[in-house]
Amino acid sequence: MSKHDAVEVIHAKRDGHGLSDSQIDWVVDAYTRGDVADEQMAALAMAILLRGMDRGEISRWTQAMIASGERMDFSSLSRPTADKHSTGGVGDKITLPLAPLVAACGVAVPQLSGRGLGHTGGTLDKLEAIPGWQADLSNTALLEQLESIGAVICAAGSELAPADKKLYALRDVTGTVEAIPLIASSIMSKKIAEGTGALVLDVKVGTGAFMKSLADARELAETMVALGTDAGVATVALLTDMSTPLGLTAGNAIEVAESVDVLAGGGPSDVVELTLALAREMLAGAGVTDVDPADKLADGSAMDAWKAMIRAQGGDPDAALPQAKESHVVAAPTSGVLTRLDAMAVGMAAWRLGAGRARKEDPVQAGAGVVWHARPGDTVTEGQPLFTLLTDEPGRFDRALTSLEGGYDIAEGGSDFTADPLIIDRVG
């Protein structure tokens, strides 16, 4: 007979009390096993959203989620490990160039990634645009690839924090996704169970981000850094702007192409800036301070690591990427300086063109997405291409165009325009 029951735990949090370690351990375990019903956990999640949790509670909740499944162990590797997690944005292809770049600097990167939902793209969806590439790896294959190449981007196994998978699906349909203690414990339970030595968090803030306000983003970053620190993982967070989409593309194959440009020593300046900033943080967390990642982009070794990583997972890094069957160009309506490009508008357009999914089981189009031909601060001329929309289904263009309406501003003159910094702050 259990010394706890679900209603007692719900009442405690509903009435503003802290949950005890044994209450937390019991309810997470019982829910994972099916002994606590979905409607009971939904009520508790809502109570947590409204009443919050203190650091001790969140830390214990995270540990209970980790204890629901297996923990990975990278201690057998000959090099240190570091990982990165982004809270998701538009055009956020940073994982693709970052993992091989950090590997080229001597640190192993076990990047367990996910698929996209809604307006934010998923790393695995992007990589699956590469002919032959496979997301699923056994733990043995993952370890072998980390030792030989130093970088893996793959799907997380079902045995890693299974409590999170179940709770995440419930939060999605009960209006409790926004609870910061549950967001933080969801992300960090998987990352800590993954067993990496150092972790860098890219917490996005702005219109195209999950966290719209800097205060909320900072609270989430501080909560996650504390969770990592409490678990013995060297953790830092960068707060980065997601009011403007990253780079010049949002989609799957087109973001792969942009990532390859970065690895070749080119690519959009903002993508390069954020990739290098995160790489330096990952290297520092792993104790590697004598390598400049910019050198590894310049000398081709990051590109070599990319090609080896793609080949190891069945992909052909030299194959042509899929292209959309149809395209539609949006011309600039006036001349002037582009002063605003809204990340949410671009993300919604890409999603409506087929680059993303509304439900987990939906397919995505590899070639669909949005290319923008100017970034805020650039001068544009009336009639010049401002966006190119890509899809296999021309019936999708109208809804994508609706998404972009009001999503950008062009100002005459515009000489007083100043871009907001990409990296807003560092926590940790």
Which positions are annotated as active-site residues? 85, 164, 171, 186, 190
Partners of 340 in beta bridges: 409
Closest CA to 274 of 83, 86, 80, 82: 86
DSSP states of 390-414 as a string? EES-GGGHHHHHHHHTTSEEEESS-
Instruction: Determine the Cα–Cα distance for residues 43 and 37; give it in Å rounded to an integer.
Output: 10
Any idea what the Cα angle at residue 351 is, between residues 211 and 186, rounded to 5°?
40
The answer to whether 140 and 99 are in contact (CB under 8 A) is no
Position 112: which residue type? L
Q: ∠ CA(384), CA(388), CA(344), 5° rounding?
A: 110
In one letter, which amino acid is 293?
Answer: P
For strand 326-331 and strand 336-341, is the pairing parallel, antiparallel, or unpaired?
Answer: unpaired
Structure tokens, 119: 């307006």
* Beta pairing partners, 152: 110
Token pair for 259: 């990532």
Q: Which residues contact 141 (CB under 8 A, 6 or more apart)?
A: none
Q: Which strands make up the sheet holding 234-241, listed edge to edge? A: 82-86, 198-205, 234-241, 423-427
Residue with tokens 């560092």: 426
